[in-house]
Structure 1
Amino acid sequence: MLPAPENRRKIVHIDMDAFYASIEQRDFPELRGKALAVGGSPDGRGVVATASYEARKFGVRSAMSSRQALQLCPHLLFTKPRFEVYKQVSDHIRAIFRRYTDLIEPLSLDEAYLDVTEDKAGIGSAIDIAKAIKEAIKRELNLTASAGVSVNKFIAKIASDFQKPDGLTFIGPSKVIPFLEALPIDKFFGVGKVTAQKMKGMGIHNGADLKSFSEFDLNRHFGKSGTFFYHMVRGNDTRPVRPNRISKSIGIEDTFSADISDKDEMMQELKTLCEKLEKRLEAKDKIGKTVTVKIKFSDFTQITRSKTQLYEIEGATAMYELVQELMDKVDVEGLKVRLLGVTMSNFAEPESIPKEGRQLRLF
């Protein structure tokens, strides 16, 4: 099955709701309806991998230290991750996807793009397909998923997050521009915390504000990312769903002779790792869109946090800016870290990377 032409694609983005925590609550009735953290521990050590929606109401979130999570939610329950179970559930979900299309692009265990322009079941309506997928996941796995349906991947991903949990949001062709114009700037996929703050300082608070800036002015303020922002707010995304996307990565990490607990020292180590990673990527002529930070603590528990851009990330400075955004979401205060790592993945296809004068590829 080949991807449909850009102007008539029907894209669905499926995102499972609190995936790890929902599986634990499903399998253990005593955890249902309770504020639950997967990962971490009640003695305040370790880091939360994910939190149930009951816990999120108190401000508990992933990558937060157990200590801070308990301060926000003293009655929080903790459970150890069961990754082999999560993988089995993910495989079942993808089998459900395959009933409707072969054009599936997984992003993680709990998230994927589907091109359902020509669905195998002959349903025809992308909204009905998304409903059928959600119903099958609920019936067969007793879990909920949120879905976004639109004309391209960028809009579908934003839509899937719009009515979580158990949501279904459709943004048709005639609604794309009004939706983007009204969307708060920090809700745009690809606009991180630092960039959002800079935009707000320029008077850019929503898509309509962003749209008032010319491509030239955006490039002047944000470098070549300005061209991406210019097209983003206009809903331009020609990327096909890639079922055979290569997920190879290049990374570097460092295990310390003595654990470190100072955040500034960690950031300096990560900056050095970004500089070393830049040289490895240049040597292999690779350029990617996803940066991942790996943190291993003194008790040997570890977390990874990733950020994906819709444009290629070039150079140590750009990598480090994303690393800073990721680390802003991780509470490491009072925790001892024995290893840090930075990885680049989601590489551009070789033929799309000029040997000289690389330019931003739009989507």
Structure 2
Amino acid sequence: MSDTGRIVVHMDLDAFFAAVEALEDPALAGKPLIVGGRPEERGVVASASYEARARGVHSAMPTYRALALCPDAVVRPARHGVYGGYSRRVMAILREASLLVEQMSIDEACLELTDQVEDWEAGVEVARQIQRRVRQEVGLSASLGVATNKLVAKVASDHDKPGGLTVVRPGEEAAFLAPLPVRVLWGVGPVTAQKLAALGVETVGDLLRLDPGELPARFGSQGVHLARQAQGLDDRPVVTEHEIKSLSQETTFARDISQPEALKASLLELSQGVAERLHRRELAAGTVAIKLRYADFTTVTRQMALAVPTDDAETIYRAALVLLRRTWRRGQPVRLLGVAGQRLSAPAGQLSLF
């Protein structure tokens, strides 16, 4: 199916963890709020309200640094079990809207409406209904993007946060992306951005002005991929979980991470996300794997077979932590971190790692 024939919606919950905490405790509404570890425990920020973000606080930042920027912020510990419950309610709304829903993380999902609505206007209306239902039935703000493919829909969902709905119609993809920083494209981290800046490339539109052969010559297959993205092209399908032989979650950090505690905090969150997805599908993983991508785009994967298949978050985290310690070159900045459950089967009671 061509891009022009597709209708893809990307939904991203706004400041999800912080929003849930404010929903559970209305006294926190409108206040700078940090969800994460305590500074005395070398904790890191898992999420921050928009009031805290306006003061420079961002996820994966050490909590002590966040409090230096925003001394009056309230700090709350992350409660992943609570967030999982809210996430399930939101995802249930999405699955009522489409048969093709790909949950990317606890607060993010993509759905395809191509064969389920008559035309574009109907697709946009479905997106509006999703946004309205998430607000009215769950109490959370969501930002959505509607486009012809996953890449542009994702970028569109980030375009008007919080609470925005951005529509990029067929034929508008390249023009929409052109003025945006080149880092909005998948695979463009600080190292690649610096190399592109040396070529005079600051925006996506700058990529299109390069000689067609320059990107492949300098960046190889990644350059070919970047050239396609700059045109707003992406033919990846929306993949539902029943089609997947493994369940994984990964995160690309806004800034490369080299602090062990920040990596461990992210690893825990990813492990809990994988466990939640396994539990929801009534599956257990016989193998745990991690993926590390360094700032220079070197990617390393490692896996560990478990004695018994599991859907337990703590067991998955312990295995992932062992793999991280074996794999990570200490002090080396990490751009992307991922956790996966593989060799899926039905759960088998109380499970353990060894």
TM-score by structure 2 length?
A: 0.71
Q: What residue in structure 2 maps to residue 28 of structure 1?
A: 25
Unaligned runs of 5+ in 1: 251-287, 307-315, 325-336, 348-363
Choose which of 138, 143, 148 in structure 1 pairs with 2:145. 148
Q: How does 1:29-44 map to 2 (within 5 A)?
A: 29-41=26-38, 43=40
**What is the count of residue pairs matched by the alignment?**
285
Q: 1:100 to 1:161 in 2, by over 3 A?
A: same
- Alignment of 1:321 with 2:284, yes or no, is no
Show CA shifts across 1:80-114 (max 9, x none): 11111111111111110111111000100100110
TM-aligned CA deviation for residue 291 of structure 1: 7.6
Secondary structure, counterpart of 1:92 in structure 2? helix
Report the 3-state secondary structure (helix = DSSP H, G, I; strand = E; otherwise coil) of the residue aligned with 1:174.
coil
Aligned CA distance change for structure 1 residues 289 and 109 (closer, same or farther; 3 Å): closer
- Per the TM alignment, residue 346 of structure 1 is displaced from its structure 2 partner at its CA by 7.8
Q: In structure 2, what is the Cα distance between the partners aligned to 1:185 and 1:237? A: 16
2:314 alignment partner in structure 1: none
Return the alpha-carbon distance in structure 1 between the equivalents of residues 188 and 294 of structure 2.
14
Partner of 1:52: 49
Cα shift at 1:321: 2.4
Contact 2:8 2:112 (8 Å CA) reproduced: yes
Q: CA deviation at 1:222?
A: 1.4
Q: Secondary structure at the match of 1:99?
A: helix
CA distance in 2, matches of 1:43, 1:290: 26
Q: Deviations over 1:49-75 (max 9, x none)?
A: 111111001111111111101110111
The Cα shift of 1:218 comes to 0.6
User: 232, 244, 247: which is aligned to 1:246?
Assistant: 244
The alpha-carbon deviation at position 323 of structure 1 amounts to: 7.6
1:149 Cα deviation after fit: 0.3
Alignment partner, residue 228 of structure 2: 231
**Identity level (%):** 36
What letter matches 2:66 in structure 1? A
Alignment of 1:303 with 2:266, yes or no, is: yes
Contact 2:3 2:233 in 1 (8 A): no
Q: Is the 8 A contact 1:46 1:301 kept in 2?
A: no
State the TM-score, normalized to the length of structure 1. 0.70
Please state whether the residue corresponding to 1:235 is helix, strand or coil. Answer: coil
Residue 215 of structure 1: how far off its partner (Å): 3.9
Q: Which amino acid aligns with 1:151?
A: T
Contact 1:105 1:113 in 2 (8 A): yes
Give the RMSD, CA atoms, in angstroms: 3.5
Matches of residues 1-363 of structure 1 in structure 2 within 5 Å? 6-41=3-38, 43=40, 45-119=42-116, 125-244=122-241, 246=244, 248=246, 297=261, 302-304=265-267, 319=294, 321-322=296-297, 340=325
The secondary structure found in structure 2 opposite 1:63 is: coil
Per the alignment, residue 277 of structure 1 pairs with none
The answer as to whether partners of 1:215 and 1:226 remain within 8 angstroms in 2 is no
Q: Distance in 2 between matches of 1:61 and 1:217?
A: 35
